[in-house]
Protein backbone atom coordinates (compact mmCIF):
# COMPACT_ATOMS: atom_id res chain seq x y z
CA UNK A 1 0.00 0.00 0.00
CA UNK A 2 1.41 3.37 -1.01
CA UNK A 3 1.58 6.24 1.45
CA UNK A 4 -1.01 8.22 -0.56
CA UNK A 5 -3.46 5.27 -0.52
CA UNK A 6 -2.87 4.88 3.23
CA UNK A 7 -3.52 8.59 3.85
CA UNK A 8 -6.67 8.59 1.70
CA UNK A 9 -7.95 5.56 3.61
CA UNK A 10 -7.15 7.25 6.92
CA UNK A 11 -8.92 10.47 5.91
CA UNK A 12 -11.97 8.55 4.71
CA UNK A 13 -12.05 6.52 7.93
CA UNK A 14 -12.20 9.68 10.05
CA UNK A 15 -14.69 11.39 7.73
CA UNK A 16 -12.36 14.17 6.67
CA UNK A 17 -13.76 14.21 3.13
CA UNK A 18 -17.37 14.41 4.17
CA UNK A 19 -19.08 17.76 3.77
CA UNK A 20 -20.75 19.14 6.82
CA UNK A 21 -24.48 19.65 6.68
CA UNK A 22 -25.69 23.17 7.41
CA UNK A 23 -26.84 23.78 10.98
CA UNK A 24 -30.02 25.36 9.60
CA UNK A 25 -32.94 23.75 7.77
CA UNK A 26 -33.79 24.38 4.14
CA UNK A 27 -37.56 24.45 3.67
CA UNK A 28 -39.67 24.33 0.53
CA UNK A 29 -42.14 27.21 0.11
CA UNK A 30 -44.99 24.98 1.35
CA UNK A 31 -43.03 23.92 4.45
CA UNK A 32 -41.91 27.51 5.08
CA UNK A 33 -45.45 28.85 4.74
CA UNK A 34 -46.70 26.40 7.34
CA UNK A 35 -43.76 26.92 9.71
CA UNK A 36 -43.86 30.75 9.81
CA UNK A 37 -47.35 30.58 11.28
CA UNK A 38 -45.77 29.29 14.52
CA UNK A 39 -46.54 31.59 17.42
CA UNK A 40 -43.55 33.75 18.34
CA UNK A 41 -41.53 32.91 15.23
CA UNK A 42 -39.23 35.57 13.77
CA UNK A 43 -39.54 36.13 10.02
CA UNK A 44 -36.40 37.76 8.64
CA UNK A 45 -36.11 39.25 5.15
CA UNK A 46 -32.41 39.73 4.40
CA UNK A 47 -32.79 41.60 1.10
CA UNK A 48 -31.95 45.25 0.50
CA UNK A 49 -34.46 47.81 1.83
CA UNK A 50 -35.61 48.71 -1.71
CA UNK A 51 -36.38 45.04 -2.44
CA UNK A 52 -38.26 44.76 0.87
CA UNK A 53 -40.30 47.89 0.06
CA UNK A 54 -41.31 46.42 -3.32
CA UNK A 55 -43.00 43.48 -1.55
CA UNK A 56 -42.31 41.17 1.37
CA UNK A 57 -43.91 38.40 3.42
CA UNK A 58 -46.42 39.66 6.00
CA UNK A 59 -44.84 40.26 9.40
CA UNK A 60 -41.25 40.20 8.16
CA UNK A 61 -38.42 42.21 9.68
CA UNK A 62 -35.90 43.58 7.17
CA UNK A 63 -32.20 43.34 7.97
CA UNK A 64 -29.97 43.45 4.88
CA UNK A 65 -27.40 40.63 5.05
CA UNK A 66 -24.98 42.69 2.91
CA UNK A 67 -25.11 45.62 5.35
CA UNK A 68 -21.99 46.20 7.46
CA UNK A 69 -24.13 46.25 10.62
CA UNK A 70 -25.95 42.96 9.90
CA UNK A 71 -24.29 41.07 12.79
CA UNK A 72 -25.02 43.88 15.26
CA UNK A 73 -28.65 44.18 14.19
CA UNK A 74 -29.43 40.46 14.32
CA UNK A 75 -27.76 40.25 17.74
CA UNK A 76 -30.78 42.20 19.04
CA UNK A 77 -33.12 39.36 17.99
CA UNK A 78 -34.17 36.58 20.38
CA UNK A 79 -31.86 33.61 19.71
CA UNK A 80 -34.26 31.20 21.41
CA UNK A 81 -37.12 31.80 18.96
CA UNK A 82 -37.50 29.95 15.68
CA UNK A 83 -36.07 32.19 12.96
CA UNK A 84 -37.20 31.93 9.34
CA UNK A 85 -34.97 33.63 6.78
CA UNK A 86 -35.63 34.48 3.14
CA UNK A 87 -34.35 36.61 0.28
CA UNK A 88 -35.02 36.87 -3.45
CA UNK A 89 -33.72 33.45 -4.57
CA UNK A 90 -32.42 31.70 -1.46
CA UNK A 91 -28.70 32.45 -1.80
CA UNK A 92 -28.36 35.47 0.51
CA UNK A 93 -30.71 33.88 3.02
CA UNK A 94 -28.53 30.74 3.10
CA UNK A 95 -25.56 32.98 3.91
CA UNK A 96 -27.58 34.75 6.60
CA UNK A 97 -28.87 31.45 8.03
CA UNK A 98 -25.30 30.21 8.34
CA UNK A 99 -24.25 33.42 10.10
CA UNK A 100 -27.22 33.17 12.47
CA UNK A 101 -26.42 29.60 13.48
CA UNK A 102 -22.77 30.55 14.06
CA UNK A 103 -24.02 33.44 16.23
CA UNK A 104 -25.91 31.01 18.46
CA UNK A 105 -29.43 31.03 17.02
CA UNK A 106 -30.84 27.59 17.78
CA UNK A 107 -33.64 27.11 15.25
CA UNK A 108 -32.98 28.68 11.86
CA UNK A 109 -34.75 27.82 8.60
CA UNK A 110 -34.08 29.08 5.07
CA UNK A 111 -36.69 29.47 2.31
CA UNK A 112 -35.52 27.52 -0.75
CA UNK A 113 -36.05 29.53 -3.93
CA UNK A 114 -36.77 32.74 -2.00
CA UNK A 115 -39.63 35.03 -2.93
CA UNK A 116 -39.17 34.03 -6.58
CA UNK A 117 -40.75 30.67 -5.64
CA UNK A 118 -43.14 32.06 -3.01
CA UNK A 119 -46.71 31.16 -4.07
CA UNK A 120 -48.54 33.60 -1.79
CA UNK A 121 -49.15 37.34 -2.13
CA UNK A 122 -46.46 39.73 -0.91
CA UNK A 123 -47.36 42.87 1.04
CA UNK A 124 -45.97 46.42 0.82
Spatial strand order in the sheet of 61-62: 25-27, 108-111, 83-86, 42-45, 61-62
For residue 109, give the 3-state DSSP assignment: strand
- Residue of 46, 63, 87, 112 marked catalytic: 87
Quick check: 31 and 118 in contact, CB under 8 A?
no
Cα-Cα-Cα-Cα torsion 28, 33, 37, 43, nearest 10 degrees, comes to 80
Q: Is 96 an active-site residue?
A: no
Q: Which residue blocks in the chain are alpha helix, DSSP H?
A: 3-13, 29-35, 49-54, 70-74, 91-102
Catalytic amino acids? Answer: 87
Amino acid sequence: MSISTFLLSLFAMFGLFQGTAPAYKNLTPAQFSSAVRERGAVLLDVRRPDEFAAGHLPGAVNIDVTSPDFARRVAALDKTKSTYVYCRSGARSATAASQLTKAGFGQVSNLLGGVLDWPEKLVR
